[in-house]
Amino acid sequence: MKTEQITLTTSITATADLSASKNLFIGFNGGLCPVDDKALGVLNDNVALGEQAPVAVSGIALVVSGAAIAVGDAVSTDAASKAVPFVAGEINGYALDEATAADQLIRIKLV
């Protein structure tokens, strides 16, 4: 079982329906994080539009992968706000687990 070690959580008003977005990167605008943008953090629970969304902003968070990722890879976000290997844009963390494909839950050390 993979665990999180979140050292700081904040909240932000959800500007989109995040009712199926737990463990995805969240932007500073309260919605899903755009491709290659800097994320505020990782959503800790599913929330509806207008609700306060709990966001892990520091520590180790569980994040859904958007592609295969190797341990130690720097990660950014894809179009679905999932973790993908960094190519361009902003680094949002480093993989502590391997993902062999998309839609796997892995630990990311947030930066």
Rounded to the nearest 5°, which phi and psi values hold at 65? Answer: -80, 150
Task: Calculate ∠ Cα 28-32-34, nearest 5°.
Answer: 80
pLDDT tier, 93 (very low <50, low <70, confident <90, very high otherwise):
very high
What is the pLDDT of the chain when averaged over all its residues? Answer: 98
Q: Are 95 and 72 in contact (CB under 8 A)?
A: yes
CA–CA distance, 71 with 5 (Å, rounded to integer): 17
Q: What is d(CA 84, CA 78) in angstroms, rounded to the nearest whole number?
A: 6
Residue pLDDT, tens place only, 23-67: 999 999 999 999 999 999 999 999 999 999 999 999 999 999 999
Q: Say what the pLDDT of residue 13 is.
A: 98
pLDDT given for residue 87 in this prediction: 97
- Give the start-to-end residue ranges of the domains of the chain: 5-61, 64-110
State yes or no: pLDDT of 1 exceeds 90: no
Task: Write the Ramachandran bin of 2: left for phi over 0, alpha for psi from -120 to 50, otherwise beta.
Answer: beta
- For 85, the token pair is 């290997």
**For 6-30, what is the mean pLDDT?**
98
User: How many percent of the chain have pLDDT more than 90?
Assistant: 99
Q: Measured on CA atoms in the order 41, 47, 51, 54, is the torsion positive or negative?
A: negative
59-84 average pLDDT score: 98
